[in-house]
């Protein structure tokens, strides 16, 4: 098995990557501005929906139901999709999925493919596999195009170029599209992208898409978007290949009623996406003549096996938790070392890799709970973060010094006598570090505290000492 | 008629670093007619261990807590995050313990637990506690107060009744201050960035004092206020509410 989440297995630990990003004023400004805009829009349109909480419950329940019966629904999907003229492929990991897709492209003797809206293809590093096979992939989602031309990594699951501002995008387009006189107004940039992409839509014979939902009952796929570029990819080329994580299944067409309310409002703060494409197999009336679905596991069954963390797979990739997260808002997505950033990435990435890599991610959160509050399918992300921290410790991936400190603290806190003794000892131990009533430097692990903050020394009398003394005094 | 008996769980942090908060809780509750008891065997709720992934180490701390507070009818805790630990995680820990006695004890414990402002507003039914505190104050409504305990405006309602006090709204109040327990050390750079946002908002209010229902957040915020020589101090909600014309509680 070669389960892979992009380059996450070799990415630096979160604190190391975050340190760099936190000192990048431009990225912080870009991320702050963009997430502010989406957050505010989301809050406005969510407040309009009277039964938002019931919708969240419904979304959660549908997804939980699917996960309990995933085998059944996947087979139902396969049967329905096949009946409608689609071809279903099963990929257990990234390599297998890449092999299937490369073979399908080769069978068309194509040297180019157009791609749209598939973070999952970044998860399996599909572009690299295509290029190695002599196939040039063109990203057609505007943000993905910016990332691709900028030789960059996505930093957000809905808005992958969120860390870039307009002037940076202008520079990338101007260089890579050879447009020295390109303007900097939004319409100049979209016009340039349009001209660049339109020609590819008309020429390239194979398209690769992702999916927002795969409907078991009918074998249909649903993709929502804002630009219409996905619609082009889904309808113009001769062959369409759709890469779908197995958790994207929903039972029935009518379940879209719930998800097409939850998703656009949570993701982009829109009541409805401008383009909602739903197609079933192939049709003689138009569209691709060949349609392939690649169902990808790549570690998802690892997640399924964990009772507490399983609901990670409820995720509909709206990105609301990223926009709400105070940690993500300081660093942007690159600190997470994975195509899946933010709170959902912090729980999904390590789990897909069976907790063998990315062990710093479950700690990349202050557990403030903002992610859980906005999650449209009520994934209890803070609870799962804590649960995964437990697995990190249990599977012996925690730093030794931390383990020793925690064991020592647990020993002290087990009895009041030990706690009392430790309080007295700490009062003495702090003396050499206390100057003018403040501690500004501490050694060892505690230096992390004093590197940015002062510490008021422990007062002469603990509360329990005060209480004990008071109990002995005669009371009026 | 004697007032209700209240068992105080001071929390290990307040016991050690902020005894003045504990004293303020005692003085205020006694002023309101309560009979306060501090069970001397208490230590820690286990939050730090549990949240850092040391759930096995948190288990004996929970068992100890259940034993110490077995008989107290009403338990007051001046820390939202410790209350959240007990309410959100003790039931799950009890399930993991596979010990029916522990599950029963947790079930019996939860309705008796009150965060400090919950105790005042919900249990004792007071918002005017007769406090006097002639300072400008801004309130940091900590994450656990907001999103776990759903304290709502209880702390504000209490502060608004304090004579002499001018309460200044904190912009972006719901944002985390960046403490997050061991997060403050394990992810010190991001913690610092979050803290600098919080500080910008606190300084913008020009308040003399920043208060909260959690000494843990305040320890973190005060640490930076001190490092940057801002001259602004942090004070737990209880210490403001316990203050009278005679001054702050000593």
The pLDDT tens digits of the residues spanning A225-247 come to 999 999 999 999 999 999 999 99
Cβ pairs A/B, distance under 8 A: 197
| Residue A115 · residue A209 · CB < 8 Å | yes
- Strands A213-215 and A220-225 come out as antiparallel
Could you tell me which CATH number the domain at B5-123 has? 1.20.1050
Q: Measured between alpha carbons, how far is A77 from A89 in angstroms, rounded to an integer?
A: 12
Average pLDDT in the A139-153 region? 95
- CB < 8 Å to B191, chain A: 366, 452
| Residue A260 · residue A224 · CB < 8 Å | yes
Examine the pLDDT at A449 and tell me if it is beyond 80: yes
In B, minimum Cα distance to A405 occurs at B49
CATH number, domain B136-241, options 2.30.110, 3.30.750, 3.40.50, 3.90.1570: 3.40.50
Q: Which two tokens stand for residue A236?
A: 């113009």
| Residue A166 · residue A186 · CB < 8 Å | yes
- CB < 8 Å to B54, chain A: 390, 393, 406, 410
- CB < 8 Å to B174, chain A: 370
Q: What is the DSSP letter of A312?
A: G
Residue A280's alpha-carbon distances to A218, A330, B148, in angstroms, are 7, 42, 43
Q: At CA A399, angle to CA A394 and CA A404, rounded to 5?
A: 85
Q: Please state the length of chain A.
A: 476
| Residue B139 · residue B167 · CB < 8 Å | yes
Residues 192-231 of B with CB under 8 A from A: 192-195, 197, 219-220, 222-224, 226-227
Name the nearest CA neighbour of B48 among B97, B103, B11, B94: B11
B17 to chain A, any CB pair closer than 8 A? The answer is yes
**Binary contact (B188, A448; C-beta < 8 A):** yes
The alpha-carbon gap from A415 to the nearest alpha carbon of chain B, in Å, equals: 7
Query: What pLDDT, on the 0 to 100 scale, is given for residue B247?
Result: 85
In A, minimum Cα distance to B63 occurs at A414
| Residue A77 · residue A216 · CB < 8 Å | yes
The alpha-carbon gap from A436 to the nearest alpha carbon of chain B, in Å, equals: 12
| Residue A211 · residue A223 · CB < 8 Å | yes
Q: Measured between alpha carbons, how far is B86 from B46 in angstroms, rounded to an integer?
A: 9
Q: Measured between alpha carbons, how far is B32 from B34 in angstroms, rounded to an integer?
A: 6
Site of tokens 């288990």: B59
Beta bridge partners of residue A113, listed in sequence order: A137
Q: String of b and e for A113-152 (b: at least 16 CB within 10 Å)? A: bbbbbbbbbbbbbbbebbeeeebebbbbbbbbbbbbbbeb
Cβ atoms within 10 Å, residue B70: 11
| Residue A154 · residue A161 · CB < 8 Å | yes
**Percent of chain A's residues with pLDDT above 70:** 99
Q: Measured between alpha carbons, how far is A190 from A199 in angstroms, rounded to an integer?
A: 14
Euclidean distance between the first and final Cα of chain B, in Å? 28
Q: String of b and e for B215-238 (b: at least 16 CB within 10 Å)? A: bbbbbbbbbbbbbeeeebbbbbbb
Q: Measured between alpha carbons, how far is A65 from A38 in angstroms, rounded to an integer?
A: 30
Residues 132-161 of B with CB under 8 A from A: 143-144, 146-148
Examine the pLDDT at A293 and tell me if it is beyond 80: yes
Q: Is the C-alpha dihedral spanning B222, B227, B228, B229 positive or negative?
A: positive
State pTM to two decimals: 0.96
Phi, psi dihedrals of residue A282, rounded to the nearest 5°? -120, 160
Could you tell me the pLDDT band of residue A2, with boundaries at 50, 70 and 90? confident
The alpha-carbon gap from B139 to the nearest alpha carbon of chain A, in Å, equals: 17
Query: What pLDDT, on the 0 to 100 scale, is given for residue A476?
Result: 55
Examine the pLDDT at A474 and tell me if it is beyond 80: no
**Binary contact (A454, B179; C-beta < 8 A):** no
Average pLDDT in the A91-108 region? 98
Site of tokens 């309080």: A423
For A257-292, write each residue's pLDDT tens digit: 999 999 999 999 999 999 999 999 999 988 999 999
Q: What is the DSSP string of A368-384?
A: --HHHHH-TT---HHHH
Prediction ipTM score: 0.97
Q: Measured between alpha carbons, how far is B46 from B11 in angstroms, rounded to an integer?
A: 10
Q: What is the DSSP string of B125-143?
A: --S----B--SEEEE---H
Average pLDDT in the A174-197 region? 95
Examine the pLDDT at A223 and tell me if it is beyond 60: yes
Query: What pLDDT, on the 0 to 100 scale, is given for residue B249?
Result: 77
Print pLDDT tens along chain B (250 aa): 568 999 999 999 999 999 999 999 999 999 999 999 999 999 999 999 999 999 999 999 999 999 999 999 999 999 999 999 999 999 999 999 999 999 999 999 999 999 999 999 999 999 999 999 999 999 999 999 999 999 999 999 999 999 999 999 999 999 999 999 999 999 999 999 999 999 999 999 999 999 999 999 999 999 999 999 999 999 999 999 999 998 887 7
Site of tokens 């730090």: B48
B96 to chain A, any CB pair closer than 8 A? The answer is no
- Strands B166-168 and A290-296 come out as unpaired
- Strands B209-212 and B75-77 come out as unpaired
Q: Measured between alpha carbons, how far is B237 from B213 in angstroms, rounded to an integer?
A: 6
Cβ atoms within 10 Å, residue A295: 23
CATH 3.40.50.10420 domain residues, chain A: 23-301
Q: How far is CA A99 from the centre of its chain?
A: 25
Q: Measured between alpha carbons, how far is B43 from A412 in angstroms, rounded to an integer?
A: 9
- CB < 8 Å to B222, chain A: 454, 456
Name the nearest CA neighbour of B149 among B172, B127, B119: B119
**Binary contact (B178, A449; C-beta < 8 A):** no
In B, minimum Cα distance to A368 occurs at B143
Could you tell me which CATH number the domain at A23-301 has? 3.40.50.10420
Average pLDDT in the A98-106 region? 98
For A33-60, write each residue's pLDDT tens digit: 999 999 999 999 999 999 999 999 999 9
- Classified as helix, coil or strand, A213 is strand
Q: Measured between alpha carbons, how far is A308 from A372 in angstroms, rounded to an integer?
A: 15
Domain boundaries, chain B: 5-123, 136-241
Beta bridge partners of residue A220, listed in sequence order: A215, A280
Could you tell me the pLDDT band of residue A3, with boundaries at 50, 70 and 90? confident
């Amino acid at each position: 098995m070669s389960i892979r989440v992009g380059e996450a297995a070799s990415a630096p630990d979160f604190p190391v990557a975050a340190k760099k990003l936190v000192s990048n004023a431009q990225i912080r400004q870009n991320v702050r501005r963009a997430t502010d805009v989406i957050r505010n829009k989301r809050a406005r349109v969510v407040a309009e929906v009277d039964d938002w909480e019931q919708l969240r419950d419904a979304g959660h329940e549908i997804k939980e139901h699917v996960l309990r019966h995933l085998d059944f629904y996947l087979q139902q999907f396969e049967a329905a999709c096949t009946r409608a003229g689609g071809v279903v492929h099963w990929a257990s990991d990234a390599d297998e999925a890449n092999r299937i897709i490369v073979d399908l492209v080769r069978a068309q003797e194509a040297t180019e493919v157009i791609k749209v809206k598939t973070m999952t293809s970044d998860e399996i590093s599909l572009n690299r596999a295509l290029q190695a096979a002599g196939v040039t992939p063109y990203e057609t989602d505007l943000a993905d195009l910016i990332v691709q031309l900028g030789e960059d990594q996505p930093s957000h699951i809905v808005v992958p170029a969120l860390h870039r501002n307009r002037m940076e995008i202008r520079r990338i387009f101007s260089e890579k599209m050879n447009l020295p006189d390109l303007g900097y107004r939004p319409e100049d940039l979209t016009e340039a992208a349009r001209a660049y992409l339109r020609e590819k839509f008309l020429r390239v014979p194979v398209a690769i898409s992702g999916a927002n939902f795969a409907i078991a009952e009918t074998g249909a796929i649903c993709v929502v978007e804002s630009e219409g570029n996905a619609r082009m990819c889904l309808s113009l080329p001769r062959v369409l290949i759709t890469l779908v994580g197995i958790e994207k299944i929903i039972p029935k067409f009518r379940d879209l009623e719930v998800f097409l309310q939850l998703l656009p409002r949570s993701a982009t703060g829109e009541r409805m996406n401008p383009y909602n494409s739903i197609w079933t197999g192939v049709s003689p009336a138009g569209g691709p003549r060949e349609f392939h679905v690649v169902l990808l596991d790549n570690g998802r069954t690892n997640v399924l096996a964990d009772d507490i963390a399983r609901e990670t797979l409820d995720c509909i990739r709206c990105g609301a938790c990223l926009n709400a997260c105070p940690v993500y808002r300081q660093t942007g997505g690159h600190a997470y070392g994975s195509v899946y950033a933010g709170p959902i990435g912090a729980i999904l990435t390590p789990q897909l890799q069976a907790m063998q890599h990315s062990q710093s991610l479950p700690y990349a959160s202050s557990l403030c709970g903002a992610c859980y509050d906005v999650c449209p399918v009520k994934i209890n992300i803070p609870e799962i973060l804590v649960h995964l921290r437990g697995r990190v410790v249990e599977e012996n991936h925690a730093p030794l010094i931390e383990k020793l400190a925690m064991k020592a603290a647990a020993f002290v806190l087990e009895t009041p006598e030990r706690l009392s003794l430790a309080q007295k000892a700490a009062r003495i131990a702090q003396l050499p570090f206390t100057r003018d009533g403040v501690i500004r430097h501490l050694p060892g692990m505690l230096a992390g505290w004093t590197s940015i903050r002062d510490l008021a020394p422990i007062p002469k009398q603990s509360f329990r000492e005060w209480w004990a003394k008071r109990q002995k005094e005669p009371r009026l | 008629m004697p007032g209700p008996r209240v068992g105080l769980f001071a929390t290990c942090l307040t016991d050690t670093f902020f005894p003045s908060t504990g004293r303020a809780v005692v003085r205020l509750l006694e002023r309101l007619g309560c009979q306060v008891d501090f069970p001397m065997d208490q230590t820690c709720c286990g939050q730090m261990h549990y949240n850092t992934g040391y759930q096995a180490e948190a288990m004996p701390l929970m068992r100890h807590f259940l034993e110490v507070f077995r008989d107290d009818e009403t338990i007051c805790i001046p820390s939202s995050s410790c209350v959240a630990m007990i309410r959100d995680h003790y039931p799950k820990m009890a399930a993991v313990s596979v010990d029916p006695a522990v599950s029963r004890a947790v079930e019996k414990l939860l309705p008796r637990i009150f965060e400090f402002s919950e105790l005042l507003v919900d249990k004792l039914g007071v918002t005017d506690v007769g406090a006097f505190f002639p300072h400008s104050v801004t309130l940091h409504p900590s994450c656990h107060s907001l999103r776990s305990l759903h304290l709502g405006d209880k702390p504000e309602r209490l502060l608004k009744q304090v004579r002499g006090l001018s309460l200044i709204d904190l912009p972006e109040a719901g944002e985390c201050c960046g403490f997050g327990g061991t997060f403050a050390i394990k992810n010190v750079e991001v913690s610092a960035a979050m803290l600098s946002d919080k500080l910008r908002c606190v300084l913008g209010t020009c308040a003399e004092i920043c208060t909260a229902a959690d000494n843990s957040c305040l320890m973190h915020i005060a640490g930076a206020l001190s490092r940057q020589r801002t001259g602004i101090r942090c004070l737990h909600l209880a210490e403001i509410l316990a203050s009278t014309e005679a001054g702050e509680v000593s």
